[in-house]
Amino acid sequence: EAQVTQNPRYLITVTGKKLTVTCSQNMNHEYMSWYRQDPGLGLRQIYYSMNVEVTDKGDVPEGYKVSRKEKRNFPLILESPSPNQTSLYFCASSFQGAGEKLFFGSGTQLSVL
């Protein structure tokens, strides 16, 4: 089944403790991206990747890192999480980029205490 797999579904952590949210797609998509969703603000793009080893900042990249070493995986790294990063996070992919249908993972609810 074609899908974007995102883990974990829920994560509670403390300020400053490094964490990684994983994202993997099995559709051979070139484009992958991360979003955070906050009430009243909608989804905001954190980082995106057009292909392996090609990543770029979205609108809210501060405090986040990503890597794209393999086509299928696009992990989101929070080196030193802070409470303002408490949010609902979504990973998404599309075949070649903006202009095409986005397939979303099921989301990660992160709480930073």
Partner 1 sequence: RKEVEQDPGPFNVPEGATVAFNCTYSNSASQSFFWYRQDCRKEPKLLMSVYSSGNEDGRFTAQLNRASQYISLLIRDSKLSDSATYLCVVTHNFNKFYFGSGTKLNVKP
Q: Which is nearer to partner 1, 45 or 80 (CB)?
A: 45
Q: What span, in angstroms and rounded, lies between the C-alpha atoms of 34 and 92?
A: 6
For the bound state, the minimum distance from the C-beta of residue 61 to partner 1, rounded and expressed in Å, comes to 12
Q: Which of 53, 2, 3, 45 is nearest to 23 (CA)?
A: 3
Residues 41-80 that bind partner 1 (CB under 8 A): 41-45, 48, 50, 56, 58-59
Between 14 and 41, CB nearer to partner 1: 41
Q: What is the 3-state secondary structure (H, E, C) of 57-72?
A: ECCCCCCCEECCCCCC
Smaller CB separation from partner 1, 18 or 31: 31
Cis-peptide, bond into residue 8, ω within 30° of zero: yes
Residue ranges in contact with partner 1 by CB under 8 A:
31, 33, 35, 40-45, 48, 50, 56, 58-59, 88, 90, 97-102, 104-107, 109
